[in-house]
Amino acid sequence: MTTVYLIRHANAYDIMGFQEPDTPLRGQGPAQAKILAQRLKLLPIDVVYTSPYERSHETATVYVKLAKKAINIDPRLKEIGTAEWTAKDFSREKDRIEDVLLSIVAKNRGKTIAIFAHGNLIKTLLCKIVDASLNVYNNKLFIGLASITTIYVQDTGLMQIVSVSDTAHGTALC
């Protein structure tokens, strides 16, 4: 079995609640990243992957410096634009993200993997695991900033959700 921590980046929104596709951490983001890194340091993480976008990479960098880990940048983990998705687009994207995750797991079977990414990517993968619709994606799931979503991937490829959007480390208080 492989454990995967899907970690949403810390805050990158400006005071108007907006972020560009490749935005650095802003506001409470740096403080959230530090708190998150302290929590992650307690976990037995073997390998770290991140989206190339600055907000995810910056969040991951705080952790890898603290834990003295290497970082793998994977362009397939970029944020997903969803503004005009159809059900067919959503189905394709769920399959694509599942393939990305399973390819990372195949390279790291039996290890504990931290993947620093984006809320939309994490929600899409969760919808794939539970076979949920675009409506569930749009209206029923929330992935908090600097949160940890945990899944197990069995050797058969079966994915199981353990926890979603965990912020017990207190980043929601920043």
Give me the CATH number covering residue 136: 3.40.50.1240
Give the number of domains in the chain: 1
Q: Is residue 100 part of a domain?
A: yes
Domain span holding position 82: 2-168
Judged by DSSP in three states, 164 sits in strand
pLDDT at 174 over 60: no
pTM for the full model?
A: 0.94
DSSP string covering 21-59:
TT----TTHHHHHHHHHHHHHTS---EEEE-SSHHHHHH
| Predicted pLDDT at 170 | 80
In a domain, 173, yes or no: no
Determine the average pLDDT of the residues in 127-149: 93
Q: Is residue 75 included in any domain, yes or no? A: yes
Q: Is residue 174 part of a domain?
A: no
pLDDT tens, residue by residue, 5-36: 999 999 987 665 666 777 889 999 999 999 99
